């Protein structure tokens, strides 16, 4: 079994409180439900790609604690190759404290912990598996140095790079976008990256062009219920609408989209980008209709077979 999708990224234990509304500063509110689950953008994306049928490997770091051990087991349970997931004594496994309100909106505090201990050297140890893959996927929850090392290794071996610059950082290393074949952000992250308001499809198309000017091969901007746009120099821009659904919990929907995109790039490279994005949007819309992140991701057998044609 050859690994076709490699995710170099984060693992977080999600501590999720479901509450009528999101708390204001200084306010104490009573939530109605709590759950501990597996999250982190990198791992979420890796699990989505795996559930769709990809052979995947994760390059990551967890802490030497129970959250870390449980996380390793979660990867095994999902069939993710963890030969390059390290355990560090220098920091605790990453955690995300998440509040989700009754409309499905969320608010997240992450403490990246062990994720920030993954070094460029650790990433370079995964060179062989990266070299043999089709797509390397990165996000913004590990150090920029480690991310850049991954993108550079992928480029060195002609492997496609998919960078999801989430969460938003105002000072993203300029080489990260330059090493991204596909640079994917949501509307908030696009605003931070372009210093412009991104509210409408038209705003997103304009922001996409500004991202291209920063050096990525192509740009995807996701807009939640409004779908996503795609921009690439020399190609027609387009907008892909999202299916209208009633969200239960939108946490991790962006990860469902990116993980699905990694899967389609590796396993259905003949599809147009527009068709891939339609299918990714379908996977993301399934995820918002169930609580949690990985707990809400469908497997291939839960989806219409036309998605894999």
Residue 251 binding ligand RIB, by CB under 6 A = yes
Identify the residue among 5, 6, 7, 12 touching ligand RIB (CB under 6 A): 12
Identify the residue among 4, 6, 14, 229 touching ligand RIB (CB under 6 A): 14
Residue 44 binding Na ion, by CB under 5 A = no
Nearer to ligand RIB, 22 or 108 (CB): 108
Q: Which residue is nearest to ligand RIB (CB)?
A: 39
The token duo for 31 is: 């939530």
Beta strands 33-39 and 12-18: pairing type? antiparallel
**Per-residue CA distances from 203 to 68, 190, 253, 264, 297 (Å):** 41, 10, 21, 27, 29
Q: Which residue is nearest to Na ion (CB)?
A: 296
Nearer to Na ion, 10 or 296 (CB): 296
Residue 40 binding ligand RIB, by CB under 6 A = yes
Identify the residue among 63, 227, 252, 298 touching ligand RIB (CB under 6 A): 252
> Who's near 171: CB < 8 A, 6+ residues apart?
none
Residue 249 binding Na ion, by CB under 5 A = yes
Residue 137 binding ligand RIB, by CB under 6 A = no
State the minimum distance, in angstroms, from the CB of residue 249 to Na ion: 4
Give, as ranges, the residues between 262 and 301 that touch Na ion (CB under 5 A): 287, 296
The token duo for 188 is: 């908030």
Residue 186 binding ligand RIB, by CB under 6 A = no
- Binding-site size for ligand RIB (CB under 6 A) equals 15
Residue 9 binding ligand RIB, by CB under 6 A = no
Identify the residue among 55, 93, 250, 293 touching ligand RIB (CB under 6 A): 293
State the minimum distance, in angstroms, from the CB of residue 18 to Na ion: 12
**255 catalytic residue (yes or no):** yes
Q: Which stretch binds ligand RIB (CB under 6 A): 119-127, 148-156, 237-245, 249-257?
A: 249-257
* Residues identified as active-site: 255
Q: Which residues of the chain form contacts with Na ion (CB under 5 A)?
A: 249, 287, 296
Residues binding ligand RIB (CB under 6 A): 12, 14, 39-41, 44, 96, 108, 110, 141, 251-252, 254-255, 293
């Amino acid at each position: 079994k050859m690994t076709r999708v490699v995710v170099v990224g984060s693992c977080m234990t999600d501590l999720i409180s479901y509450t009528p509304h999101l708390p204001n500063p200084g306010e104490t509110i009573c939530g109605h439900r709590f759950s501990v689950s597996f999250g982190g953008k990198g791992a979420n994306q890796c699990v989505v790609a795996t559930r769709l049928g990809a052979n995947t490997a994760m390059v990551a770091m967890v802490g030497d604690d129970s959250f870390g051990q449980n996380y390793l087991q979660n990867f095994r349970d999902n069939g993710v190759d963890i030969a390059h997931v390290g355990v560090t004594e220098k920091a605790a496994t990453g955690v995300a404290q998440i509040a989700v309100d009754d409309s499905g909106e969320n608010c997240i505090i992450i403490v990246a912990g062990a994720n920030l201990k993954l070094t460029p050297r650790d990433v370079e140890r995964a060179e062989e598996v990266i070299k043999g893959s089709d797509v390397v996927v990165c996000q913004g929850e590990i150090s920029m140095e480690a991310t850049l090392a991954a993108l550079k290794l992928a480029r060195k071996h002609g492997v496609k790079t998919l960078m999801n610059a989430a969460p938003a950082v105002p000072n993203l290393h300029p080489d990260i976008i330059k090493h991204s074949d596909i640079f994917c952000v949501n509307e908030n992250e696009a605003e931070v990256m372009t210093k412009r308001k991104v509210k409408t499809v038209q705003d997103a198309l304009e922001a996409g062009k500004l991202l291209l000017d920063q050096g990525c091969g192509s740009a995807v901007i996701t807009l939640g219920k409004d779908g996503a746009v795609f921009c690439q120099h020399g190609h027609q821009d387009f907008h892909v609408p999202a299916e209208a659904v009633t969200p239960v919990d939108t946490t991790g929907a962006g990860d469902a989209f990116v993980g699905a995109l990694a899967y389609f790039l590796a396993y259905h490279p003949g599809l147009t980008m527009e068709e891939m994005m339609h299918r990714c949007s379908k996977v993301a819309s399934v995820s918002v209709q169930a609580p949690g992140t990985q707990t809400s991701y469908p497997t291939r057998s839960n989806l219409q077979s036309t998605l894999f044609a």
